[in-house]
Amino acid sequence: MIPGPWAAAAWYATIPFWPLLGALLVGVLLILRQKPERAHLPVVAGVAFAALLAVIMFFDTAQRYPSKGGTEADHDAGHAAVVLAADPPSPIRSGNAPAGWVDPGYTYTLYRWISFGAVESQALGRWISVNFYFDGLTAMMMLFVTVVSLMVVIYAIGYMRDHHGHPERGYERFFAFLGLFVFSMAMLVMAGNFVLLYLGWELVGLCSYLLIGFYYGKPEAAAAAKKAFLVNRIGDLGFALGIFALYWFLSPHVLEHENPLDFAIAFKYAAELQTDSGLLGLHQSTVVALLLLCGAIGKSAQFPLYVWLPDAMEGPTPVSALIHAATMVTAGIYMIARCGPIFAGSPFALDVILILGLIGAVLTATMALAQYDMKRILAYSTISQLAFMFVALGCGVPKSGVFHVFTHAWFKALLFLGAGSVMHAMGGVIDVRRFSGLRQVLPRTYAVMLIGCLALAGFPLLAGFWSKDEIVHAALFSDTPWVGWLLVLTALLTAFYTFRMFFLCFHGPLRLPAEAGQHPHESPPVMLRPLYILALGAIFTGYLGVGLVPGSADAFLGVLKPHAGIFHAYLGNSTIIETAHQGAEAAGAAVEHGSGIWVAYLSAVVALAGIGLAWLVYGRAPEVDPARRALGSVFGLLNAKYYVDEIYDAVLVRPLRGLGKVLFGVDRLGVDGAVHFVAAVPRGLAFVLQMFQRGVLQSYALSMVLGLVVLLVLWTVIRSPAT
């Protein structure tokens, strides 16, 4: 029943449920009133087992999809092209429509969940199943989702304690939510149909609400949790409509027993969506793609719905790391990559993705220049990097975008957990103006943060360099090279603000806030060891996307060829489709012939320039920001984040709140008023009758006498005509 290489699919299908089991066990421990110190054990064990299975799945998938090179050209280049006979044919990688789509994945069905359609045809009717979809993309996503989550969960054991090592209040609640979060993300990634994807999608939204608002007693935290939830709801509405639209458009085409919401089915018929939708003259695929995009914008915090992500810093630091690296924000990128056959059919939607990504990348990179909150700078960098991924998706090189998701997860988790380590030592202070020179007291944190910052800045040969370079490369060689130049500018800004933060924190004279106490201490090993592992990831994961070019020894960087690693071979056997839309093939060909290697040098120079500039301005960690004087009012504008929150407040929030009040009033007076009036009539009657039933003897007697009198009067009146 199950093809050979997937014999373990039944085991892989259990991956999401181990963290869930851990979270449930925490709940059981709570009921049994066990000591909260042990609450982390079930969750860590659950996530660890899931991570183990995911790693096995990753290598299993690698066996199934041996390295064939990322593009067709690589075959010609003579790469080790071991193709198993059992291998499914590769999907079409170019062209606008996925005509001739061949499902590269394997769907494993756990059970049939919801039936729809006629009741009598249930045997043959359509079912939404709980099924999981396994392909290269799933294996790759699950690898970093579970492993990075495991690091975060282990780190949280140390982080969620006070100075005496006692668990913080709500320790067990925290770990239960973390387990639920990992479960949700795993469901999202492994889902085999849109309904299950939506389930995971909503669950991560719920978990982010629970965790951002973990310190719910703090008004800012409660507000941030609400903001994250509400902003995400706007996107999710579009996402849900997109799923409905997909069902609506595909239903006439699919066979009796096929569920158009299953990935394999939906993508098989994606070519049918090239007809007019009757809506503004858009193609059906464009309508579906744009609606799905709404969801991705909300979850992945893209312009214009990015505003929730910086505020989400109010949650505990491990949560920030989880949201920014392994869960939640990667969901949008993943979803667009997963729905490749649909998006590939809509050049217009790809252009929208490209434009939104560009706006987001530049806008938030400039905002990050003028922030003082360490975690907020990192948050803006996340948005900016996610925007990079959006540009990659829009440029028609989704593999590079997903590659950046992958490398970004490692170093962004590292950066956040490192920032958490600083915060831990500084007694909760996170404002970079209030401390400096921490290199002297936190040497280990300093070292891992340096690696993380270098990776984020795109320092040569670290993870971020390779993945970012690929995107810049594709954009520069597309039919719109100015996009690439804007990305180069963003990369420069990224290097600059990353090291602005780094130098302000770790260099210069030792300065400590009063909250840190006399002897700020390095974090305990339980927090540092996950950092070391993530640092390894930040250094080496980039090489998954880099291949060797045999015979091209013109330069050192030329030997290591981007776009050619096992990563791309891997993703070649997934639902990801690289389109010819923006000339991705040209980019690939350019690298192939060595002419595109200068882009790698350019990326290296840009990163070094940004870091050098940051050293010049902030190298001595001045207490007063030199950029503030130099930039003047522009700095104020950047510091206030272009007043986007205020504009949203004035343009959207206030009018909507006013409308809400009006509607509330109408509801209260009109609808509720009518209901209350109807209820008041019998109550009034009852009140009148109650007066005769007071329990006072005389009143009963009086009513009897009055009744008697009435009877006598009636009697006389009725009798009198007769007599």
Partner 1 sequence: MLAAYLILGSVLFALGLIGFMTRRNLIIMFLCTEMMFQGIIVNLVAFGRYPLNGAPTFDGQVFALFLIAVAAAEAALGLALVVLLYRYRGTLDANAFTQLRDD
> What 3-state class would DSSP assign to 35?
coil
User: CA-to-CA distance for 93 and 81, rounded, in angstroms?
Assistant: 17
**Tokens matching residue 245:** 């639209």
Please, which residue, 551 or 695, has the CB nearer to partner 1? 695
Cβ-based nearer residue to partner 1, 279 or 686: 686
Minimum distance of partner 1 from residue 112's CB (angstroms): 55
Can you read off the two tokens belonging to residue 584?
A: 């991705």
C-alpha 497/C-alpha 370 separation (Å) is: 8
Per DSSP bridges, beta strands 282-283 and 560-562 are unpaired
Which is closer to partner 1, CB of 63 or CB of 698? 698
CA–CA gap between residue 71 and residue 57 (Å, rounded)? 24
CA dist., res. 451 & res. 540, Å (int): 11
Q: Nearer Cβ to partner 1, position 593 or 694? A: 694
Closer to partner 1 by CB, 640 or 710: give it: 710
Rounded to whole angstroms, how far apart are CA atoms 157 and 174?
10
- Rounded to the nearest 10 degrees, what angle do helices 347-368 and 481-506 cross at? 30
DSSP one-letter string for 79-145:
------TTSPPPPP-SSSS-TT----SEEEEEEEEEEES-STTTTTSEEEEEEEEESHHHHHHHHHH
Cα gap 444→460, rounded to integer Å = 22
Minimum Å gap between C-beta 700 and partner 1 is 10
To the nearest whole angstrom, how small is the minimum distance from the Cβ of residue 678 to partner 1?
23
Closest CA to 204 of 312, 358, 116: 312
For partner 1, give the closer residue by CB, 102 or 705: 705
Tell me how far, at minimum, the Cβ of 683 lies from partner 1, in Å: 14
Binding residues for partner 1 (CB under 8 A): 690, 693-698, 701-702, 705
Identify whether the C-beta of residue 98 lies closer than 8 Å to the C-beta of residue 270: yes
- Please state, in angstroms and rounded to a whole number, the distance separating the CA atoms of residues 404 and 426: 32
Output 633 or 698, the one with its CB closest to partner 1: 698
Which residue lies nearer to partner 1 by CB, 675 or 705?
Answer: 705
* Cβ-based nearer residue to partner 1, 682 or 695: 695
Task: Kindly state the smallest distance separating residue 702's Cβ from partner 1, in Å.
Answer: 6
Q: For residues 579 and 398, give the distance between their C-alpha atoms in angstroms, rounded to a whole number.
A: 9
- 380 three-state secondary structure: helix
Q: Which long-range contacts (CB under 8 A, 24 or more apart) does 21-26 make?
A: 21/46, 22/46, 22/47, 22/175, 22/179, 23/175, 23/176, 23/177, 23/178, 23/179, 23/180, 23/183, 24/179, 26/172, 26/175, 26/176, 26/179
Q: Between 674 and 705, whose beta carbon lies closer to partner 1?
A: 705
The DSSP letter of residue 651 is I
In whole angstroms, what is the distance from residue 34 CA to residue 40 CA?
12
CA distance 334 to 296: 9
Residues contacting residue 511 through CB under 8 Å, at least 6 positions apart: 434, 435, 436, 437, 621, 623
**Burial of 255 from C-beta contacts in 10 A (0-12 / 13-18 / 19+):** exposed
Closest approach, Cβ 692 to partner 1, in A, equals 9
Our CB check for partner 1 shows the closer of 4 and 695 to be 695
Among the listed residues 45, 50, 47, the one whose alpha carbon sits nearest the alpha carbon of residue 14: 50
Least distance between partner 1 and beta carbon 687 (Å): 12
> Cβ of residue 701: shortest distance to partner 1, in angstroms?
5
Distance of closest approach, residue 721 Cβ to partner 1, in angstroms = 23
Cα–chain-centroid distance for residue 264?
A: 23
- With respect to partner 1, which residue has the nearer C-beta, 348 or 700? 700
Residue 703 beta carbon to partner 1: minimum distance, rounded to whole angstroms = 11
CA-based torsion, 244, 245, 249, 250: positive or negative: negative
Smaller CB distance to partner 1: residue 59 or 692? 692
Smallest gap, in angstroms, from Cβ of residue 677 to partner 1? 24
Give, for 547, the enclosing helix (H) or strand (E). Answer: strand 546-548
Tell me the backbone φ, ψ of residue 106, rounded to 5 degrees: -130, 130
CB of 686 to partner 1, least distance (A): 10
Least Cβ distance, residue 693 to partner 1 (angstroms): 4
Of 279 and 712, nearer to partner 1 (C-beta) is 712
Q: How far is the CB of 713 from partner 1 (least distance, A)?
A: 17
